[in-house]
């Protein structure tokens, strides 16, 4: 814990539902306190437990008064240690644990189309389920003649083998042993259906070691015009502090469906009325922008409507409701401020069929609920690339994506959003990408500058809005060197924050550039003024870094220095004990 200056001790307490579970004394040295608290008798609901942490700190000088109200104690580097050995599953319903570090999915080195589709489906489902834990998801090839993993799973690892076979089933092999794994088999669409068992709400009922998912329900299209603050995933809606305190309300755009253009927030809540000699106000702001203010009243309640314009949106807009007192704040005299928000407060949305920002900020909502996936080559490497991208986009929101593998031709003419994997860059030449090369000429959409450089090979991912089919597209390609595309995807896989931080239209890496990939952001003004096919030529350069660090007017290029809902209903199961 990082403590404010002036404190040398105190204690920390753990509560659940206002019941004290544990307490430990703190020793603060140089502003830091290390502590470990054994927590017993937790009430676990739905494989989750919520606790409250409260600190009580002691002044280093009994005559000293801490008056820096903007410098609270902060918990850092939290971790949890579990005692005992993980239980080995005996039936399918026990196969997915609460805590998971690694997911290993095995397919043949030369996968069939159905094996590829099932691998992409399974990785996406597990990525959504374990989103907050961010486990490593590895796609591993089985050599010819191999039918099982070469090594046993680690304690917090789960292994899956996907195979194109006549019998459609999910089987827990070697139950209760270290060498256990889950075999998913079938042919065609039936194989993909079996992979969906792992995300079925009926999975807890599969108390056998063999089952077949006979049918599944489609993911519904989200078009909610009104949701409560609680439905948007906000559960910590009470706070207390001295002098000032605040509640943060997040708006997960993936829960809203389509592209919101304006939010109308109808907030209800309350606070402990201030003494007669004090005054105060509620301040509503997003980031550094104050959007409204409200004076306090003696009744201690408020009901207020806010309009949040689209230009204040980010991927996860955060509305801060701040309660601030304006009287004199004195130690041991001033009473704490208490603020709470009604979880049933409503958020109304105006939705658009077209994104304001047709780039990475339009994801994942631009892919919800179903996104097509097309592979130019369809080999193992292409499946790996698709898994990497779908899992990365899935991590951007809490709403489940459903990827569907289709042919390249169907993906191009469809009106469904799509992820197109074209590592060699030969199949996507007819698309109007934000960044392109042709005959030694590099074009960047919206740019008016021309730079004379030499030959360039690069790869990466690009996003854009397909006006003709009214959909989002993400294209993973290269200008002749698939290895540069793979460098970009590997860089994104190394840190989940890197996907969150993308805000432009393209992320590119070039031959010879040993640093991080470069992000390309086409200005919104230029996009509005020009159709996607109107581009200005840039002559290709030997090193993309040389090109992208030149100061230009119409595009913004930034080096990324660091860091990257419903469930299906109505599933039918056939169970068999072996």
Does 575 map to a domain? Answer: no
Judge whether 221 lies within some domain.
no
Do 548 and 479 share a structural domain? Answer: yes
**What is residue 494's predicted lDDT score, i.e. its pLDDT?**
93
Q: What is the block-wise mean pLDDT of the chain (578 residues), using blocks of 10 residues? A: 83 87 89 84 77 81 54 80 85 92 96 97 95 93 91 93 94 95 95 92 90 72 76 87 88 79 92 86 94 93 92 85 79 77 92 82 90 97 98 91 95 96 91 74 59 65 92 93 95 92 91 85 49 34 35 33 36 53
Q: CA 475, CA 396: separation in Å to the nearest integer? A: 18
Of 352, 384, 401, the residue that ends a domain is 352
Our count of domains for the chain comes to: 4
Confidence (pLDDT) at 473: 96
Residues 295 and 316 in one domain: yes
Nearest to 292 by CA among 335, 268, 321, 324: 321
Name 99's bridge partners: none
Which residue range is the domain that position 109 belongs to?
92-215
Q: Is 569 a member of any domain?
A: no
Specify whether 436 is located in the same domain as 543.
yes
CB 370, CB 404: distance < 8 Å: yes
d(CA 514, CA 517): 9
- 327 and 374 part of one domain: no
Q: What is the pLDDT of residue 437?
A: 67
The whole-number pLDDT of residue 312 equals 85
Asked if 134 and 230 sit in the same domain, the reply is: no
The reply to whether 276 and 196 lie within a common domain is no
230, 325: one domain: yes
For the entire predicted model, the pTM comes to 0.81
Tell me: do 318 and 384 sit in the same domain.
Answer: no
> Shortest CA distance to 199 belongs to which of 101, 116, 126?
126
pLDDT for 216 equals: 65
> Which residues are paired to 247 by β-bridges?
321
CATH of residue 307's domain is 2.60.120.260
What letter does residue 483 receive in the DSSP assignment? H
| Dihedral, 74, 77, 83, 88 alpha carbons, nearest 10 | 120
Residues 67, 103 within the same domain: no
Query: Do residue 273 and residue 246 come from a single domain?
Result: yes
Cis peptide leading into residue 369 (ω within 30°): yes
Tokens of 323: 């309660």
Q: Are residues 502 and 475 in the same domain?
A: yes
Q: Which residues contact 572 (CB under 8 A, 6 or more apart)?
A: 213, 214, 215, 216
Domain boundary among 352, 382, 413: 352
3-state class of 500 per DSSP? helix
In a domain, 362, yes or no: no
Domain identity same for 294 and 206: no
Does a structural domain hold residue 358?
Answer: no
Distances from the Cα of 377 to the Cαs of 140, 251, 285, 421, in angstroms? Answer: 18, 39, 49, 8
SS3 annotation, 539-563: ECCCCHHHHHCCCCCCEEEEECCCC
CATH code of residue 99: 3.30.379
Residue 357 lies in a domain: no
Report if residue 570 sits inside a domain.
Answer: no
d(CA 142, CA 572): 31
How far apart CA 151 and CA 550 sit, in angstroms, is 50
């Amino acid at each position: 814990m990082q403590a404010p200056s002036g404190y040398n001790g105190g204690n920390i307490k753990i509560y659940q539902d206002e019941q004290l579970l544990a307490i430990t004394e703190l020793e603060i040295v140089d502003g830091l306190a290390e502590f470990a608290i054994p927590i017993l008798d937790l009430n676990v609901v739905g494989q989750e437990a919520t606790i409250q942490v409260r600190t009580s700190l002691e002044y280093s000088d009994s005559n000293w008064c801490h008056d820096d109200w903007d410098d609270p104690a902060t918990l850092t580097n939290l971790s949890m240690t579990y005692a005992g050995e993980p239980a080995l599953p005996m039936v399918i319903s026990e196969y997915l644990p609460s805590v998971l570090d690694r997911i290993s999915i095995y397919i043949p080195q030369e996968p069939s189309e159905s094996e590829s589709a099932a691998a992409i489906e399974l990785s996406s489902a597990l990525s959504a389920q374990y989103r907050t834990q961010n486990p490593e998801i590895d796609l591993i090839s089985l050599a010819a003649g191999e039918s099982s993993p070469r090594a046993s799973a680690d304690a917090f690892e789960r292994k899956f083998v996907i195979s194109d076979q006549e019998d459609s089933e999910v089987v827990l092999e070697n139950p209760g042993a270290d060498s256990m794994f889950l075999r998913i088999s079938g042919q065609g669409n039936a194989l993909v259906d079996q992979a969906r068992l792992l995300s079925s709400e009926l999975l807890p009922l599969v108390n056998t070691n063999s089952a077949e998912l006979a049918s599944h329900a489609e993911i519904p299209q989200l078009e909610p015009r009104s949701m409560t603050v609680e439905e948007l995933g906000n559960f910590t809606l009470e706070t207390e502090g001295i002098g000032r305190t605040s509640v943060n309300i997040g708006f997960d755009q993936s829960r809203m469906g389509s592209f919101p253009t304006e939010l109308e927030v109808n907030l209800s809540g309350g606070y402990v009325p201030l003494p007669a000699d004090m005054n105060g106000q509620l301040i509503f702001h997003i980031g550094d922008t104050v959007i409204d203010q409200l004076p306090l009243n003696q009744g201690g309640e408020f009901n207020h409507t806010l309009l949040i314009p689209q230009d204040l949106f980010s991927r996860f807009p955060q509305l801060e409701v701040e309660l601030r007192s304006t009287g004199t704040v004195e130690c041991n005299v001033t009473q704490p401020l208490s603020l709470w928000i009604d979880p049933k407060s409503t958020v109304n949305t105006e939705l658009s069929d077209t994104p304001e920002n047709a780039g990475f900020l339009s994801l994942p909502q631009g892919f919800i609920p179903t996104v097509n996936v097309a592979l130019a080559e369809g080999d193992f490497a292409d499946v790996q690339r698709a898994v990497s991208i779908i899992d990365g986009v899935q991590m951007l929101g809490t709403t489940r994506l459903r990827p569907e593998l289709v042919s390249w031709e169907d993906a191009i003419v469809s009106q469904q959003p799509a992820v197109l994997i074209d590592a060699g860059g030969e199949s996507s030449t007819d698309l109007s990408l934000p960044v392109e090369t042709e005959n030694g000429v590099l074009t960047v959409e919206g740019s008016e500058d021309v730079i004379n450089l030499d030959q360039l090979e690069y790869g990466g991912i690009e996003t854009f809005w397909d006006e003709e089919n009214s959909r989002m597209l993400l294209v993973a390609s290269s200008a002749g060197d698939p290895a540069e595309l793979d460098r970009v995807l590997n860089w994104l896989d190394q840190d989940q924050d890197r996907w969150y931080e993308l805000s432009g239209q393209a992320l590119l890496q070039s031959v010879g550039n040993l640093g991080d990939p470069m992000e390309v952001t086409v200005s919104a003004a230029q996009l509005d003024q020009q159709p996607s096919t109107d581009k200005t030529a840039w002559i290709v350069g030997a090193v993309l870094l040389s090109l992208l660090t030149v100061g230009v007017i119409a595009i913004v290029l930034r080096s990324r220095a660091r860091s990257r809902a419903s469930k299906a209903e109505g599933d039918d199961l056939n169970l068999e004990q072996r």
